[in-house]
Structure formats: C-alpha cells, structure tokens
Amino acid sequence: MGSRSRARRVVAALGFAGLLCAVLGVIMIVMVPSIIKQQVLKNVRIDPSSLSFNMWKEIPVPFYLSVYFFDVINPRDILQGQRPQVRERGPYVYREFRHKSNITFNDNDTVSFLEYRSFQFQPDKSRGLESDNIVMPNILVLSAAMMMENGPMSLKLIMTLAFSTLGERAFMNRTVSEIMWGYEDPLIHLINKYFPNMFPFKGKFGLFAELNNSDSGLFTVFTGVKNFSRIHLVDKWNGVSKVNFWHSDQCNMINGTSGQMWAPFMTPESSLEFYSPEACRSMKLIYKEQGVFEGIPTFRFVAPNTLFANGSVYPPNEGFCPCRESGIQNVSTCRFNAPLFLSHPHFYNADPVLAEAVSGLHPNPEEHSLFLDVHPVTGIPMNCSVKLQLSLYIKSVKGIGQTGKIEPVILPLMWFGESGAMEGETLQTFYTQLVLMPKVLHYAQYVLLALGCVLLLIPIVYQIRSQGPKDAASQPSLATQPDQLSSPYTPLLQDSLSGQPTNPKV
C-alpha cells in the first residue's frame, strides 16, 4: 500500500508540473511576440534610455571611404579631339569617423543634431600613397569655360588671357592629397575677387575639402517616442522640409531617414529611402533578397534601375533635368553650376554609349553596384557598401583657347565607396539581445508546451493501467463458479460429471 500511495503522489506531481508547463507554453505563445515587439520598439527609438541610442549617437561601426581616381593617359590627344583614355588608380582608403553633437530634443517628438565627419588615411589598406600624382581634368578651368559658353566673345578672350597668365591648363597633374583635401590656386582668388558668389569656397579647392572635419547640415528627425509611425523620418534639413535645387516638388522633397536607421519590422515590400546632402536629393533603394550576416538575418536592398534614369526613361526624374544619357544625374544646380554628373561607377547601369566614349571603363555589377544589408526586425544596418561616381562634362568652347578641340564627353573623375560592417563587441551585444534571446524564447514556448503535454499523459496512462486488474477480478470465472454455487442438486451434478449412475429413487 505504501509504494502504491507514493506512486500516486509522484504521478500527481508530474501531472501538475505538466499542466503548469502547458499553461506557461500557451501563455508564452500568446504573449512573447507582443513582448518582443514592445522591446524592439523601446530600444530602436531615439531616446537616451534605449539600447540603440549610444549606437546612434556615436556610430561604433568602422566606416571606410575607398577612393578610385581615373588617371588620364592621353591629355594632349584629347585636346586634339581624340577619345579619352583613362586608367583606374586606387583604392586610396580612409577611415571615416562620425559623431553627433548639438543633440537637442524638441517638443514635437523630434531631435535635432549635427553629425561631424573626419577622415584618416590608411596606408595598409590602400594601393598607393597620398603623394601619388594623378592627371585629371582641371575642374575650375573647364567648368568656368562651360559657364562662359554663351557669354560675349570679348569676355572669353579675356578669360583665355587670364588662364594663360596664371598658367592654367585644361588638364592638371596633382597629388591625391591635393585633389582630395584642397590645393591653392590663383584662379580661385581671381574668381572670388571679380565674381564673389560664383564658388562657395574661398580658400583651397578639393573634391572632399568640405567634408573633412565638417558637418553634413542640421538634421531634425522624428524620435518615435510619441508617434512610432514616423520613427527616424527626416522632418527638416537645415530648417527646410524641401530643397530648391531641382525643377519639381517631387524631386525637391526630403523623404526618408538620414540614412543610418530605418523603421523596424520590415517586409519584402519595404523600401529604404533616405536624404543625401552630398547628392542634394532623396534616394530610394528596393528589396532584393534575404541573407545572413554573422548569424543575423538580413534583407538586402539595392538601387533600382531608375535611380539615375533620365526623364524620358523614368518621367518622375524629369525634375532633375536638364538630362543627357540615361544613367547619370546632372548635379550642377547644387554644385556651383559646374557641369558635374553623378552615377554608378564606370557608368554601370547607364546608357552603354557613356562607357564606350571613354577607353578604360569596365562596368560590372559585382564591383560597381551598391547595397545595404539591414536587420528587418530592428531596421538597423549590418553591412553596407554605397558606391558613386563623379564625372565632368567637357567640350571645346569657342573663344577659350585652353579647351582646344575637345569633343563633347562625360569624363569620369573618380568614384568612391563608403563601406561599413558591424563587428566586435557591438555585433555580439546586438546578436545576443536582439537575435539570440528572441530565438530562445521562441523555441522555449514550444518546448514547454510539448513537455507539458508529455507530463500530462503520465497520470492518464497510470490511471488506465491501475484500473485494469480490478475490472478483471470483479468478473466470476469458470474455475471458481462450482465452489461458489451450492444447492441440493450439486451432488447429483457431481455424480453425473464423474460418470456414476444416479439413483432414480432419490
């Protein structure tokens, strides 16, 4: 009796534990998705108490700027009207440091900030030194010539004389450091003296001179604390909600985020839209495929074919015109009216005539396409590589001798790629708290439910087995029936069964 009583207690305890596990599993199945969503919403918003705030404030991801220059091989032949030949040089790699300052939280659920950037040359990652010499078009001379194309001949002759006096030519030989961060040029001082508002710079001229140790403008973005639907979206840039560089309201709109974080809970129908001060416009990337980065699931977003398409191919881009061949965007209106064009490197995904006009260009998607890998649950980028090319439209301008017989051509100057990938302690923390823990909770709820069901079966099986012998004992058997039934006729039956004759008298 004691062992049977203990067994009953054990079975009852297991059944109770099973009931608890099953109930807990069901509760987790119902509640865990909501809990995870609430935790994500809490930790991706721009708030000092959120997990991602320090990551947003001081970007821990190491960013690198890789610059490739197109070294002009035949400058004299170009002046005689021949096809340009270029040779790609680089990469010249710079470590990019970013940090936000002047962070101000506003009453309308927005935060304003300035993001400063600085660059440090990385010789070990580069193929060349900053002291390398590059032959490229003289942007100042050829841009000034293009601006004067429709000017009076007398002014053109004066400009030709001024160029000759200052020793200016259509092509220049400068070091990488000078092209990147600026060089002294007497032409700049002359232009600023007589045309003070033509160029935005007063000292040195360099392609990246305005980006080093400077900010990218005052951004005001929504924090998502009060209204989650607008989280990370740009409210204003430099105090305005749209720019005035282009010729349509749609092209002038400041859409999307500041390009660092996006809204969480993405789907394949989502897109990445952001405003780029360098391109003076908003850009939209589209979903391509799912992937995995260091164990973290990602969505890859790429540039659509219409990103730099001209107005005839993609009518919404008509506002960026005047346009030339499809695949390049005229940015002269936001670059001191210089005939500069933005595109993918080597004119990838552009009209083939552009690459065919310059010898030495070899566009291909593996090297020249851009992408962003984003964690879809949080909207935080894991790995990115943004690649763009800057080109100059050059041609012979009648009356300006320095332009010679140059045939009209879009000549690439350089292309650059900004890349960064989450790594180290930041990656581990992100993986543990936003990937591993939700995954453990996801599996734990089903394990608890299954374990509870198994434990609940134990008392049921025990009850069935314990009732079986009692039921069998309660039914009479043939072996015991004669002993249990006694009557005066029993001996007669016994005699009959034993084969003895019965007494008829009896």
Going along 368-495, which residue ranges are E strands?
Answer: 371-375, 380-394, 409-421
Residue 1 scores a pLDDT above 50: yes
- Greater pLDDT, 38 or 316: 316
pLDDT in tens, 20-55: 877 887 877 777 777 778 878 888 889 898 878 888
Residue 254 scores a pLDDT above 80: yes
Confidence band (pLDDT; 50, 70, 90) for 337?
A: confident
| Mean pLDDT value across residues 304-324 | 90
* Model pLDDT, residue 28: 75
337 secondary structure, DSSP code = T
* Model pLDDT, residue 171: 96
Dihedral (C-alpha) 231, 232, 235, 236: value to the nearest 10 degrees? Answer: 170
- Share in percent of the chain as helix, strand, coil (round to 5): 35, 30, 35
How many angstroms separate the CA atoms of 70 and 86, rounded?
6
| Mean pLDDT value across residues 493-497 | 42
* Model pLDDT, residue 323: 85
Residue 506 scores a pLDDT above 50: no
**7-42 burial code (b ≥16 CB/10 A, e <16):** eeeebeebbeebeebbebbeebeeeeeeebeeebbe
Token pair 């035949």 is found at 74
Residue 441 scores a pLDDT above 80: no
pTM for the model stands at 0.83
Coil, helix or strand at residue 110: strand
Confidence band (pLDDT; 50, 70, 90) for 223?
A: very high
* Model pLDDT, residue 118: 92
| Mean pLDDT value across residues 252-256 | 94
* Model pLDDT, residue 504: 42
- Greater pLDDT, 206 or 470: 206
pLDDT in tens, 148-201: 888 899 888 988 998 898 889 999 999 999 999 988 888 887 777 776 666 666
pLDDT in tens, 73-114: 999 999 999 999 999 999 999 999 988 999 999 999 999 999
Q: How many Cα atoms sit within 13 Å of 444 on the Cβ side? A: 12
- One-letter amino acid at 468 equals G
| Mean pLDDT value across residues 328-348 | 91
- One-letter amino acid at 307 equals L
* Model pLDDT, residue 333: 86
Token pair 């012998």 is found at 469
* Model pLDDT, residue 413: 97
Residue 494 scores a pLDDT above 80: no
The two tokens of residue 68 are 């490739």
The two tokens of residue 445 are 């709820």
Residue 202 scores a pLDDT above 80: no
pLDDT in tens, 109-151: 999 999 999 999 999 999 999 999 999 999 989 988 998 888 8
